[in-house]
Structure 1
């Protein structure tokens, strides 16, 4: 299975930029049911291009092709052998307790030489956390968050080194407290009706970190 170059992927799939969240407090009780709550991973953002030909391309938030730095994700292409897709994800390095480690991720991101990268797949493993879908045979960015999550869940992409995180409905404070208990920095509140806005920072997504949960 080969690695697809970014230029080749662009001939098949739309070239999009990630949507970004604003930083803010948890939604108040009167509006909390308008959102779903996902864990804040603090990883390296990537858009995953799957042209449907057995190849995969990872593009960073700035559009750089970082596929060769993470060869363990090549097998993801076999999960969607025919469908063309663009997925929004974060690359995360976990510590011994299964919690995201910025330090370990930075070590992995600094590697470029193929031999160093090959060794790192064993010594500094990373996980691909997929949380949105921008294209699946046709654009999906105009669909509401709930519909995109349903499409993503139906793909059954979870496997070794790949995860689709849970999204808590309605219970803002409970979701935040559980995420913090599990060692994460907080949650992202995503409005259930919101479309995906490529390249934009929108209040439809609110990043809530420890210390920012209260208005």
Structure 2
């Protein structure tokens, strides 16, 4: 599911959305076969698992039902903020030795924010129900996080991400199903404007 770039929802509609941090990472679909491992696919379907051995077998991925999750891989800077430059450096590495050498210098994290399948398809569930299922999986480890969302007011969420050094927020309609491959106003990308 893809976001549409747009303005922040106004006071008359802001309560219809939850607000999440805009990560500017590498989008991946994470397949959890239920044996504690993870397989990472890019939006084009390429298997990128081998490039991220630090995300292969995570303590939080305990045996259980098969799951398919949506999220982003990020690389952080010295202050713990997502760095597009550091992520690009890591993404450019393909040789196993180069990847192994980068594990300490260019570590990555997997930010998971939606669930498409949990023993059965969850696409038609509303955003709020899918987030509840995702939270219930308790996947948080040093390498994997399920970041929280903010309720309205939208402006407060936007200001919080500005204060914390992020690029903006994504507004996600509380009632929206997950629409694979669709760009829709149910997800709105709101970026901070540069200072004037």
Q: Work out whether the TM-score is over 0.5.
A: yes
Specify whether residues 78 and 210 from structure 1 end up closer, same or farther in structure 2 by C-alpha distance, changes over 3 A only.
closer
What is residue 167 of structure 1 aligned with on the other side?
149
Give the 5 Å matches for 1:123-162. Answer: 123-162=105-144
What is residue 84 of structure 1 aligned with on the other side?
66
In 1, are the aligned partners of 2:60 and 2:141 still within 8 Å (CA)? no
What is the RMSD computed on CA atoms of the aligned residues? 1.2
How many residues are treated as equivalent by the alignment? Answer: 194
Structure 1 stretches lacking a partner, 5+ long: 1-18
Q: What do residues 121-174 of structure 1 show as CA deviations (whole Å, max 9, x unaligned)?
A: 111001100000000000001000000000001111011111111100111000
What is residue 108 of structure 1 aligned with on the other side?
90
Residues of 1 paired with 2:147 and 2:36: CA distance?
Answer: 24
Structure 2 stretches lacking a partner, 5+ long: none
Give the 5 Å matches for 1:171-182. Answer: 171-182=153-164
- TM-score scaled by length of structure 2: 0.96
Note if 1:210 corresponds to 2:180. Answer: no
- Residue aligned with 1:87, SS: strand
Q: Give the ranges of 4+ consecutive aligned residues of structure 1 lying more than 6 Å apart after TM superposition.
A: none
Shift of 1:45: 0.2
Q: What do residues 62-116 of structure 1 show as CA deviations (whole Å, max 9, x unaligned)?
A: 1100000000111238623121000001000000111110000000000001011
What is residue 63 of structure 1 aligned with on the other side?
45
